[in-house]
Every structure is written in structure tokens, then in C-alpha cells.
Amino acid sequence: MEENQATVVEAKATLSYARISARKVKIVADLIRGKSVEEALTIVKFAPKASAEILEKLLKSAIANAENNHFMNRSNLYVAEVYANQGPTLKRIRPAAKGSAVRIRKRTSHITIVLRESK
């Protein structure tokens, strides 16, 4: 039972414990999914969101991984997958009225970008 599966070469870059919520990252991540690398870079460069700067850096890292480690051609690259998963939440306490306390949740996320070559 032999299967003719062509191995798909993909370059990956991950950022763990980014101090931004996954919900905020997903807004920009949805904009660049499926786009060519050059178009994705332009989108994250001009997107007015805090996560755009983080994703731009991560996208440039994935491009560098593709070119240097997997010998892929930059002009054929596209964003195959981009996702942000929830990381651990930092819990902090803030004093509130009448001697009570309010919990502050500082959320983190794990962001991954996967690039593939178009045919």
C-alpha cells in the first residue's frame, strides 16, 4: 500500500508568550491568511492595530527561515497558515472600593505563521 504523497516544504516561525491577547491578534491574522508574502507585508505594515507590528516581525522571520533554511524562492511564497492560540494568563490584583479587590487578567498568546511555495 504505497501512497504517492509529495512532501510539502513549509517554513515556520512561532512566537510564544506574546503579551497581547489572541483575540486581538486574530483580527490581523485573518487579513493576511492566504495572501502572497509581499501583499501580507504591506497589509501588516499599514494596519492600525497593535498586533500588526508583532505579526510583521514574525512574518519577516518566517521569510528568512524559508530563504535560508529551506532554500525557497521569496517571490513564490504565500501565507498558508497563521493562527494565534491562547497562552497562559498573568493574574494581577487591583484594589477596589470598600476594601475589595478586582482581578486583572493580562493575557498572552502563542502565534504561528506557516509559509509555503505556490506552484
| Predicted TM-score of the model (pTM) | 0.88
Cβ-based neighbour number of residue 95 at 10 Å:
8
CB 58 within 8 A of CB 113: yes
Q: Is residue 5 a part of any domain in this protein? A: no
Q: Is residue 2 a part of any domain in this protein? A: no
Q: Is residue 106 a part of any domain in this protein? A: yes
Q: How, if at all, do strands 90-95 and 109-117 pair?
A: unpaired
- Over its length of 119 residues, how does the chain's per-residue pLDDT go in tens digits? 555 666 788 999 999 999 999 999 999 999 999 999 999 999 999 999 999 999 999 999 999 999 999 999 999 999 999 999 999 999 999 999 999 999 999 999 999 999 999 87
Cell of 53: 507590528
Q: Is residue 60 a part of any domain in this protein? A: yes
Cβ-based neighbour number of residue 111 at 10 Å:
24
Q: Which has the closest alpha carbon to 58: 81, 76, 88, 89?
A: 81
Q: Is residue 37 a part of any domain in this protein? A: yes
CB 87 within 8 A of CB 25: no
Residue 8: the pLDDT is: 80
Residue 55's domain spans which residues?
11-117
Domains: count for the chain: 1
CATH number, position 36: 3.90.470.10
- Stretch (H or E) spanning 54: helix 50-69
In angstroms, the CA 16 to CA 18 distance is: 6
Q: Is residue 4 a part of any domain in this protein? A: no
